[in-house]
Structure 1
């Protein structure tokens, strides 16, 4: 297949490649980015992009496909088939929205791992999935009531993490702080001891995996950094010293600004009032924290906490998050990298996903305008291609 009359954004360098043709081979990988199809390519499928801008498919790094709203409606004994149906619907919506890869960071009944197997067999239409299975929570902690795994002490946490990895998890999710969802809960409460975090990190490293930490504030983030955690979520209150400690090639922060800046979406999805008010009350600190992270040079990746294909203020949540990150101080190129090259590095797939270049998987989206000039171009994604197959739209 050839995509012709395209302007291509090199998200690694920011270079604009105008009037190009992109060839995707039968294996779904990009073969060539050329000035035009060669003579003799007339028999190939040709899609005229008509001057639109081609980008890599979006990568969302903090996803819950199985989540129930309001959170209090979660049934920890839910039939796994029901969980799978709900999750598959949201996965399909995400792919239609241009999100071609997702990282799940806790799914009830390990729905992410089931969907990944189903997608590999062609039974469902879904993004590429990197899954955690179930997150691991302390008893009475942030994850209680959300169908997580529970543990106490270093060895229990080690065994719980090893169980998720044995089930097929690509990474392990823990909660080192409280959150914003439950009445009376607060994100500055520390929930894991050093040795418990150490047990999870040890299990992850034994299988060449990494640990993802729900993290609300600086003390717990420094604690987790010292134990070897490399992927942090939220950072509602982050001080400058902790931000400086987070700077490094293998440490990532997923801001999830959506969580504290999407009141209309929360109300439309029947969030309980205490959850809404706690989220809104954290919004100013959250924004200032992410601005500190940007100034320090922390590597940021895109993640929504919400299903990434859900519409928030009229755009997919993953795009909404990108726009919020730009408002916080990312340049358009950095915002695009947060959902492509940097996200792919975090997921350890950057050798074949996250760029429009030969050898990479043909996951592509097309937008009308130049996103390096105006990120609002991402509000209208007109074409979605996954591994060389057109998912939605045509020029």
Structure 2
């Protein structure tokens, strides 16, 4: 019985082994057929492409050469621009302090950012003591005037009696001198009162001219005097300016009256202005000079803030390219051009002014090159391309 069972098991093991071997042979045959089919398809496609394009086996066909858009920029009239940056300031800043004897501040009437007129009070100083002094001087005028009236009356009566011999000539002279002295005391009292009024008028802190209040350094209850320093700062007429440092060569190209566009930090739109003053000296350390650009008041202008400026320094002829054609690297700006045999070449360029019309090329191109407009980032120097000419923008 055991012998029979062992024979049966051996039979089944051999049958299973034959089935596995058969499946393995079938799998190997199928893989070989698939590889043969793939090789045949690849060889047929390669031979067809070579026969259609006339390309030799092993070289790229025409279908693999990319099309690129190129432009021949020529030379166009462009404005020469000079870029600068600097700070915003009041064109004519007016520091305002105590002009009189000072005292305790009762009220402050303005806040930074307010417009004021010439002579408008900015802060009120207590004048209770000065008002009493003025009243006393006004009373002294009336006393002196009464004395002068009395002296005049006595002189008039004496003149009526001198012809009768009741009063001597010397008495008349003394009375006339008394009358003149009384009149002089009246004028002295009037001058003292006027001085007091002028002093009181200078107690309040007022705007020396119309303009914009920039800062306030005083509060009610504060004791101020002529030594208190600047209490308010104002921009006369609200006029502003940008102060920018320019290189010596650029400064020579910027005459007074040059138009400029100033863009404060955070602003979207630039503000038109013009150069109203440039430094007559050059800093020997930095080789730079100051340019001051006058700009009208705008809510976006804040003295002490930072701004950029574009100054128009004349016009000239230069190639003009779209911004997409100009690329940058660690070595600087460059463009890709289609050179001999339609192969990609790299040209280092110096960028001039940038405007809505495009990027002016200061140096590096003559204007007759075929410059790649798009897809420059996906090309390498030496790649062969099919250039498609596009008209240059005007």
Q: TM-score range by the shorter chain?
A: under 0.3
TM-score w.r.t. length of structure 1: 0.17
Rg larger in 1 or in 2? 2
TM-score w.r.t. length of structure 2: 0.17
Q: Which structure has more RCO (C-alpha within 8 Å, separation ≥ 6)?
A: 2
Q: Of Structure 1 and Structure 2, which has the larger fraction of its residues in strand?
A: 2
